[in-house]
Amino acid sequence: MNEVDVSHYFDFCATTPLCDVARDAMMPFLGQDFYNPNQKTFVGSLRVARKIEDAHQKILMKLCADENDHLIFTSGATESNNLVLRGLCEYYDTQSEKIHIVTTAVEHASLLNVALDCSRRGHEVTVLPVNRQGQLSAEDVLQAIKPHTKLVSIMSANNETGDLFDVISLAKAVKNKFPKLHFHSDMTQSCGKMTFDIKNSDIDSISFSAHKFYGPKGCGGLWLKKKSYYDIKPQILGGGQQNQWRGGTLSVAPIIGMAEALDFSLATYAQKQSEYRQWQHGIYEELSAHHDHLLLNTDFNSSMATVVNISVLGLKGEEILLALPEYALSTGSACQAHLSQPSHVLMGRGYTKEEASASLRLSWGHGTTPESIKNMLTQLSQVITQKRRQSLSYEMLTSLT
C-alpha cells in the first residue's frame, strides 16, 4: 500500500484504503474472468463460482464461524441491518403479529433508522440508554424484554468512540433466559480488527462492510448462524440467488477482494495493536498537556486501539475541521456528516449539547506513522489555541473555573 498516502488521513473509522492484496485478487475478475457465476455449464463461470465459494469459506473461517453457517453477500452493513430488522418485522407481518425490538441509543444510524421505520409500521422498539461511559448491563437488556420481543440488536464497537460492548456475554445472558430470541450485532467497526468466537457464542447474526477493513466499497455481508432460530423475509427479490436470501448477480470482484482484505486486516491489527494503543494514549496526553477543558470520550480500558474521541470544550468540532481542510478528521459518523447536529452517540450517553458538539474523532490504521501523528497534532493544537482565543464560549467556560 505504499502508493496510498495516508499521512493526512485520520478517519479510518469512516473508510480505509484498499489494500494491495485485495486489489490484486480482484483484478482478474475485472478483466478476463468477468463471467456470471450463476451460469452452470460454462467452464469460465464454474471457475468463478469456485472462487466465490473459496471466498465464502475464507470469510467464515476468519469470522470464527462454522463452515455450514449462512453468509449472505450484501452491499454493506446498512443493507445487512435492513435485512435483519425489516426482514424479521415483515415476516411477522405475514403472520399478523407485531413484534418488539430492543436496541441501544448509540447504534449506527443504519440500524436506528431502520428500527424507527419498523416502529412506524406498528412494531414496538425499545431504545436503551447507556451510562456516561457508554455502557449498559445485561440486566438493563433483560429488563427490557417483553413477551413479544423477537430481536435484540447491540453493536460490538461504537463507530464514534471506539468503545466496546461485551456482546458475547450479553448474548449469553439473553439466550439463557430467552433461547428463541434473535440476537444481532452490528460488527462494522470491529470486524477485521477483533476476533470473536461466534461459532460457540449465542449471537445469531452479524453485519459488516468490507471498506472498513481495507476492502472495496459497496460490499459486505450478513452472517447467520445455521442452527439459530430466525424468520427473516428477503428484502431484494430476483433470480433466487444466495438460496433465496438476496436476489441479484453476485458482485464477484468485490467479494473476492473482501475475503483477502479481511485476512490482511486481522493480521495487521494483531501485529500493530500494541503500537496503536500507545498512539491512542499519546494523542490524548499530548493534547491535554497543552489544552485544558478536554473530555475524553473513549474508554481506553474497553475500546478499539485505533480511535480516540475527545471533546474540545468551548469550541465546536465542526469549526476545528473547517480550519484544517488538509486533514481528514471527523466529529463522528461519516454517514451523518451532512447533518449539523450534535453526536447522537454522546447525547445518548447523557452529554450536554455543548459537550457533544465539541467532539473530535481521530482514527488511524495501516500506513499511519508516528511522524504523521506528530505533524497532525501540531496543526490541530495550533488551531485549538487560535480558535479558543476567539471563542466567547471558552472565555465563559474558563471564567467559571
Say whether both 289 and 259 belong to one domain: no
What confidence tens digit (pLDDT) does each residue in 231-261 have? 899 999 999 899 889 999 999 999 999 999 9
Among 107, 130, 161, CA closest to 305:
161
For residues 281 and 241, state if they share a domain: no
| Domain co-membership, 285 together with 248 | no
Catalytic residues: 335
Which of 263, 280, 314 is the endpoint of a domain?
263
Based on the domain organization, do 323 and 367 belong to the same domain?
Answer: yes
Residues 246 and 282 in one domain: no
How far apart CA 285 and CA 279 sit, in angstroms, is 10
Question: What's 71's domain CATH number?
Answer: 3.40.640.10
Look at residue 338 in the predicted model and tell me its pLDDT: 47
CATH number of the domain to which 343 belongs: 3.90.1150.10
Question: 305 is written with which cell numbers?
Answer: 486501539
Query: Where does residue 271 rank: exposed (0-12), middle (13-18), buried (19+ CB within 10 A)?
Result: exposed
Report the pLDDT value the prediction gives residue 227, as an integer from 0 to 100: 75
Of 214, 229, 263, which residue sits at a domain end?
A: 263
Note the pLDDT tens digit of each residue in 325-359.
999 999 965 554 545 678 999 999 999 999 999 99
Is residue 7 a part of any domain in this protein? no
Model pTM score: 0.94
What share of the chain has pLDDT > 70, as a percent?
96
Q: Which residues constitute the domain of residue 329?
A: 272-399
pLDDT value of position 229: 59
State mean pLDDT over 130-138: 91
Asked if residue 92 and residue 230 are part of one domain, the reply reads yes
292 touches 303 (CB < 8 A)? no
Confidence of residue 152 (pLDDT cuts 50, 70, 90): very high
For residues 303 and 322, give the distance between their C-alpha atoms in angstroms, rounded to a whole number. 28
Residue 320 and residue 205 share a domain: no
Q: Is residue 212 part of a domain?
A: yes
Contact 244/13 with Cβ under 8 angstroms? no
Residue 319 reports pLDDT greater than 70: yes
Q: What is the pLDDT of the chain when averaged over all its residues? A: 94
Q: How confident is the model over 184-226, as pLDDT tens digits?
A: 999 999 999 999 999 999 999 999 999 999 999 999 999 999 8
At which of 263, 298, 330 does a domain end?
A: 263
Distance CA 188, CA 42 (A): 36
How many domains in the chain? 2
